[in-house]
Structure 1
């Protein structure tokens, strides 16, 4: 009994399983082409999720800048600190997601 990765969810399972206990994907009778298709679908879904998160982070980042320069909140007010927080959060989140996308492409 060997441990393999499920082609659909990438979780470790036994090679004796006919159905993945994690994602309920039928594994019995899958040839190599179908396994590759499932793995590719998983890759595309992960990449799309990271791209969506990057887009949301970019919106938060740009929204903070837009609010900061259009409303010009008072110095050291809660409004200004919230705006700076949104800018910093959006920027860091965007950079982290871009790094995760690069690492996903390399794997």
Structure 2
């Protein structure tokens, strides 16, 4: 009995399972090519999701920076603190997503 990854949800399952207990994918009935195609599709969907999140994080960062640059909020006001928070959250979120993308690209199908 070996532990394999489900081609659809990428969670560990036994090779004896006919159906994945996590996502109910019929693993036992799939041939090798179908499993590979399903795994590639899942990886592409994860990649697209991370790219979308990176884009939203970049917009959050730029929005905070541009409001801070053009509006010149009063020092110590809630507007200035909100701009700083948006910039910090956007940068951290963007960097975390980029690292996650690197690890996703390194992962074998």
TM interval, short-chain normalised: over 0.9
Please name the residue that 1:9 is paired with.
Answer: 9
- C-alpha distance in 1, partners of 2:27/2:92? 40
Give deviations 1:37-63, integer Å, cap 9, x for gaps: 111011111111111110110110011
* CA deviation map 1:62-95 (0-9, x unaligned): 1101211221100121211111111111011111
Q: After the TM superposition, list the runs of 4 or more consecutive aligned residues in structure 1 that deviate by more than 4 angstroms.
A: none
Aligned length: 107
**TM-score after normalising by structure 1:** 0.93
Aligned equivalent of 1:51:
51
Query: What residue ranges of structure 2 are gaps of 5+ in the alignment?
Result: none
> Residue 80 of structure 2 aligns with which residue?
80
Does residue 102 of structure 1 match 2:105?
Answer: no
Report the equivalent of 1:42. Answer: 42
**1:14, distance to aligned residue in structure 2 (A):** 1.6
Secondary structure at the aligned position of 1:49 is classed as: helix
Which 5+ residue runs of structure 1 have no aligned equivalent? none
Q: CA separation in 2, counterparts of 1:99 and 1:21? A: 30
Question: Structure 2 length normalisation: TM-score?
Answer: 0.91
What is the alpha-carbon root mean square deviation over aligned residues? 1.1
